A and B are shown apart, each in its own frame.
Chain A
Amino acid sequence: MTKVKNRIRRLRFDHDEMTQQELANRAGCTRQTIIALEQGKYVPSIELAFGIAKAFGVTLEEVFQYEEST
């Protein structure tokens, strides 16, 4: 699994249960990419990461967190 974690699923539910398709449309990617992100199987580019944060109206850090290996 990737070291970059995200709260996309949580944030979607906090935003009136926004659908994956709706988020994908707002962020400018496909629904399959949102699925891959939620499953931790893909790390987005900075551009897409900002797009997702903007779609939720939050900062980048509120969506993505880097997990330091100990």
Chain B
Amino acid sequence: MAPLQKRALYGLAFGVVWAVAIIVVFIVKGGVSTFSEDQGFRLIIDGLWVGGLIFYGILMLTLRKQSQVDERDRLILGRAPVVQLWAVIFSLVIWTIVLTESYWDQGIPPIFMYLVFMSTLIVSAVAQSIGILIGYWRMGRND
């Protein structure tokens, strides 16, 4: 397995655990209505996603230092943002449809701006790893 591929796998594994942890805490603590009222809850979520983002950055930097990247890896790395872009667009489309349909009459609560931004960052990080793994898979198939 190429070092970059290994890095992407670690990134994907962490990203999935990170996203699931935030979703679980969010649901267990009471969801959107509690989130907008309870500052303690907001701080826990803040800690989870900012902490996760910092940890993800440190993990990627550490793995980058340890791994050699050559022209084939750079080619794959250069194609990964396409997957990242589509994933971000897709998640924003989902958010837009769900929020519009759920809050058509009342207006969308401002708290969702925060949630949309947070989820977009996580989707972007995870999708980059997926993009890299797809790149290796496609190159392995030689198309």
Residue of A nearest to B72 (CB): A33
Interface SS majority for chain A = loop
Q: A30 to B1: give the CA distance in the assembly, Å.
A: 10
Point out which of B68, B139, B140 has the most chain A C-beta atoms below 10 A from its C-beta: B68
Q: A32 to B72: give the CA distance in the assembly, Å.
A: 9
B42 → chain A, closest Cβ, in Å? 44
Q: Map CB proximity to B onto A29-70 as digits: 1 under 8 Å, 0 otherwise.
A: 110110010001110110110000000000000000000000
B57 → chain A, closest Cβ, in Å? 24
Q: A47 to B71: give the CA distance in the assembly, Å.
A: 10
**Which of the four size classes fits the interface of chain B?**
10 to 19
Residue of B nearest to A35 (CB): B2
A36 neighbours in B (Cβ, 8 Å):
72, 139-140
Please give the residue numbers on chain A whose beta carbons come within 8 Å of chain B beta carbons, in ascending order. 1-2, 28-30, 32-33, 36, 40-42, 44-45, 47-48
Please give the residue numbers on chain B whose beta carbons come within 8 Å of chain A beta carbons, in ascending order. 1-3, 5, 68-73, 139-140, 142
Determine whether the beta carbon of A1 is less than 8 Å from that of B142. yes
A44 neighbours in B (Cβ, 8 Å):
71-72
B47 → chain A, closest Cβ, in Å? 37
Given A30-B3, A32-B1, A32-B2, do A42 and B72 touch, yes or no (CB 8 Å)? yes
B72 neighbours in A (Cβ, 8 Å):
29-30, 32-33, 36, 42, 44
Q: A45 to B3: give the CA distance in the assembly, Å.
A: 20
